[in-house]
């Protein structure tokens, strides 16, 4: 079958009036207008021939919902593992953008399913993705199609989360330049039918630098750029000695983590390779920003107090909030 690609086009600049918030639009531009502006694309020749696309795990569909009216103004998508954390981030962004109301009763758009949650605050969409490559992969397939069907333009997507650090202090924020696998290679291997397909995991370097420059304006939040290693497992796959199974020695673990550090790896999590691969293939400007909760060269278990854990988890959110406000030209008014 021939592969049909819908390539992104450069979108004209929009005023703040068209960005904040536009979910009540009653007029829908004609199809040709959307064709010129579309910047989120799919690589699936079968989608165009479908009568309806049901985004099952998001409880949304192209016939049952007016996706352009609901999501057409989205410019920033922030995704993270925990539903509670993404709701808290949406409430935080509601206050930061000074939208109407207090945001405490913000609606979960995906309330009809218990797989993921989704909250919209102006041009910012906050979505949970669960834990691990399979969970975020399912969410990304449907999220990318949602953005495509909604004719979104110039979308930046950022994964925010927690991670284990390597050779850096707990509480450090790592902005990923390249996601690597367990062999420290910049690749994501996907089994498709009975073939292993390898995809690139490079992230947007300009976006990473923009985020790092933004971090310099935030006091007491140590931030660096480095490689992020993505694994399929939290315990043995990350060299932990405290799982139900362990088939290696402490010396082997430390040797592996030190080799990862020498290869440029500064933190470990479980989603970044597939996130980078899928976003890159579909024309999304993407970044990964995770705080470290421990130094894996020193410990395997997280033993932070609740207050410290909460403060660490807020650090990526604060950075992303400041970045979004700068992009929208709102920092001076809302500092």
CB crowding 42-56: b at 16 or more within 10 Å, else e: beeeeeeeeeebebe
CB atoms under 10 Å from CB of 241, counted, come to 15
Question: For residue 303, with 0-12 CB atoms within 10 Å meaning exposed, 13-18 middle and 19 or more buried, which class applies?
Answer: exposed
Q: Quick one: which of 321, 268, 273 has its CA closest to 292? A: 268
pLDDT of residue 32: 42
| Secondary structure class of 250 (helix, strand, coil) | helix
CA 328 to chain centre: 19
The answer to whether 72 and 150 are in contact (CB under 8 A) is yes
Question: For residue 164, with 0-12 CB atoms within 10 Å meaning exposed, 13-18 middle and 19 or more buried, which class applies?
Answer: buried
Q: Quick one: which of 31, 30, 29, 2 has its CA closest to 18? A: 29
pLDDT of residue 332: 53
* pLDDT per residue rounded down to tens, the chain (335 residues): 444 343 344 344 343 434 444 433 333 334 444 344 546 889 999 998 999 999 999 999 999 999 999 999 999 999 999 999 999 999 999 999 999 888 788 999 999 999 999 999 999 999 999 999 999 999 999 999 999 999 999 999 999 999 999 999 999 999 999 999 999 999 999 999 999 999 999 999 999 999 999 999 999 999 999 999 999 999 999 999 999 999 999 999 999 999 999 999 999 999 999 999 999 999 899 999 999 999 999 999 999 999 999 999 999 999 999 999 999 998 754 44
């Amino acid at each position: 079958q021939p592969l049909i690609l819908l390539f992104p086009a450069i979108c004209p600049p929009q005023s703040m009036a068209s960005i904040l918030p536009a979910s009540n639009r009653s007029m829908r531009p004609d199809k040709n207008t959307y064709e010129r502006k579309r910047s989120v694309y799919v690589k699936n020749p079968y989608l165009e021939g479908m009568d309806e696309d049901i985004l099952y795990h998001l409880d949304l569909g192209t016939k049952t919902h007016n996706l352009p009216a609901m999501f057409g103004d989205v410019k920033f998508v922030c995704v993270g593992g925990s539903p509670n954390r993404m709701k808290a981030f949406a409430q935080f962004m509601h206050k930061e953008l000074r939208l109407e109301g207090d945001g405490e009763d913000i609606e979960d758009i995906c309330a009809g399913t218990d797989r993921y949650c989704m909250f919209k605050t102006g041009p910012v969409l906050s979505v949970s993705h669960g834990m691990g490559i399979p969970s975020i992969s399912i969410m990304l397939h449907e999220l990318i199609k949602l953005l495509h069907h909604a004719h979104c333009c110039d979308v930046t997507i950022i994964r925010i989360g927690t991670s284990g650090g390597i050779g850096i202090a707990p509480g450090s924020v790592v902005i990923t330049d390249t996601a690597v696998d367990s062999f420290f290679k910049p690749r994501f291997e996907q089994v498709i039918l009975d073939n292993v397909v390898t995809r690139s995991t490079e992230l947007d370097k300009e976006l990473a630098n923009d985020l790092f420059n933004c971090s310099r304006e935030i006091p007491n939040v140590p931030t660096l750029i480095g490689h992020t290693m993505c694994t399929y497992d939290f315990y043995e796959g990350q060299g932990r000695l405290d799982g139900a199974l362990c088939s290696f020695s402490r010396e082997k673990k430390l040797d592996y983590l030190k080799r990862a550090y020498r290869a440029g790896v500064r933190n470990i999590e479980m989603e970044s390779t597939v996130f980078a691969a899928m976003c890159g293939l579909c024309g999304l400007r993407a970044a990964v920003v995770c705080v470290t909760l421990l130094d894996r060269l020193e410990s395997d278990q997280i033993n932070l107090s609740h207050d410290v854990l909460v403060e660490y988890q807020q650090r990526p959110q604060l950075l992303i909030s400041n970045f979004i406000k700068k992009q929208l030209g709102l920092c001076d008014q809302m500092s």
